[in-house]
Amino acid sequence: MRIVCPFCGERELGEFTYLGDAKPARPAAGASEDDVFDYVYLRDNIAGAMSEHWYHAGGCRAWLKVTRNTLTHEISSVEPAAGVGAAKVGA
């Protein structure tokens, strides 16, 4: 498999580390235990296009949001995480 890193270009799988589903969002401070439990443990088992977190460990150390078809391994989009680079979000 090959992933097109927005910073480094097309690179092979071995440079990347997989984390998992990128859909769950970390609940804000003060969230209930149930909400945090869902965030930590509950995942959809998707057959098809799935948004995933990948880390370009062997490259620029960017966290990427990769849309990958779990049936075909086809990658339809790669976006950098919101906080990649020097600028802070909302600054």
Partner 1 sequence: MVSHAQSHRLESGGLIDRSAPLNFRFDGKTFAGFQGDTLASALIANGVKLVGRSFKYHRPRGILTSGSEEPNALVELRTGARREPNTKATTTELYDGLEAASQNRWPSLRHDLMAVNQLFSPIFVAGFYYKTFMWPAKFWEAIYEPAIRRAAGLGRAAGVADPDHYDKAWAYCDVLIAGSGPAGLGAALAAGRSGARVILCEEDFALGGRLLADGGTIDGMPAAEWISGTLAELATLPDVGIMSRTTLFGVYDGGTYGAIERVNDHLPSPPEHQVRQRLWRIVAKRCVVAAGAIERPIVFAGNDTPGVMMASAVRTYVARYAATPTRRIALFTNNEDGWRTVETALGAGLQIAAVVDARPDVSAAHRALAGKTGFPVLNGSVSGVDGGKDGVRKILVALAGGARAEVEADGLAVSGGWNPAVGLTSYHRGRPKWQDDISAFVPDGAPPGMVAAGAANGAFGLGACLRQGFAAGAAAAQSAGHNGNTGTPPVADDEAFLLTPLWHVAGKGKAFVDYQHDVTASDIELAQREGFESVEHLKRYTTLGMATDQGKTSNVAGLAIMAAVSGKSIPETGTTIYRPPYLPVAIGAFAGHHRDENFHATRLTPSHHWAAEQGAVFVDTGLWKRAQWYPRAGEKDWLESVTREVKAVRSGVGFCDVSTLGKIDVHGPDAGAFLDRVYINTFSNLAVGKARYGLMLREDGMVYDDGTTSRLAEDHYFLTTTTAKAGPVMQHLEFCRQVLFPELDVQLTSVSDQWAQFSVAGPSARALLKQLVEESEDLSNEGFPFMGARQVALRGGIRARLFRISFSGEMAFEISVPARFGNALVRNLMLAGKQFGATPYGTEALGVMRIEKGHVAGPELNGTTTAADLGLAKMMSTKKDFIGRVMAGREALAAADRQVVVGIKPTDKTRRLRSGAHVIPKGEIPGSANDQGYVTSVCFSPTLDQWIGLALVERGRERIGEIVHAHDPLRGESYDVELCNPVFYDPDGGRQRG
Residues within the interface to Zn ion (CB under 5 A): 5, 7-8, 56, 59-60
- 17-21, strands of its sheet edge to edge: 17-21, 49-55, 63-69, 75-80
Integer Cα distance of 31 and 84 in angstroms: 26
Closest approach of Zn ion to the CB of residue 62, in Å: 5
- Environment class of residue 5 by beta-carbon count within 10 Å: exposed (0-12), middle (13-18) or buried (19+)? buried
The interface mask with partner 1, positions 4-43, x = CB under 8 A, is: --------xx---x-x------x--xxx-x--xx-xxx--
Q: Which is nearer to partner 1, 46 or 80 (CB)?
A: 80
Integer Cα distance of 34 and 19 in angstroms: 22
What residues line the site for partner 1 (CB under 8 A)? Answer: 1-2, 12-13, 17, 19, 26, 29-31, 33, 36-37, 39-41, 53, 55, 57, 61-63, 73-75, 80-84, 86, 88-91
